[in-house]
Amino acid sequence: MTQPINHIVIVGGGTAGWLTAATLAKQLKVTSNTNKKVTLVESPNIPILGVGEGTWPNLRATLKKIGVAEADFMRECDATFKQGALFVNWNVPKNGQTHRYYHPLNTVNHSSYDFSLAPYWLMNRTSQRYDYAVASQSHVCDANRDPRK
C-alpha cells in the first residue's frame, strides 16, 4: 500500500528555497488545518533573499500564484525594485572621460528574449548610448525614480 506524502523538506534556503517552499505549500494547499507540511531548512550564512537578477522576469507572477501581494512582499522583505546593473569604467574611451553603462534587467517596449535591438541601433548609431536608446531603465535610474512612479 502506498502512503501519501504529507511532509516535504526543502534543504537550502535563499531565494530558490523560499520560493520553492511557498509554491509547493500553495499547490498542496498546506494550512494549519491540514496534515500536510512543508519545512524549509536553511543555512544561517545565506541570506533569505538575494539580489534578484534571476527572479526579476517572473517574480510578480510567482507572488500572484502563491497569493502574496507585491506591496506586502516588498515591505516585509525591505526590498527595492532593481532597474539595472550600472557598470562604471568597464570601457574607458580614449578621451579619458568616465564611461557608464546600465545593463537593463527589463525593458518597457520589448523583451530582450524575443529579439535584439542592437542591429537597429548600430545601423542608425548616433551619439546616444545603447542603454538609453533601447530601454527606459537608464533614464529611471538617473532620475532616482522607481518603476512605479
Question: Active-site residues: which are they?
Answer: 82
User: Any bridge partners for residue 124, and if so which?
Assistant: none
State the pairing for strand pair 84-88/7-11.
unpaired
Q: From the centroid of its chain, how far is CA 9? A: 25
In contact, 21 and 62? CB cutoff 8 Å = no
DSSP state of 90: S
Residue 49 burial class via C-beta count within 10 angstroms: exposed 0-12, middle 13-18, buried 19 and up: middle
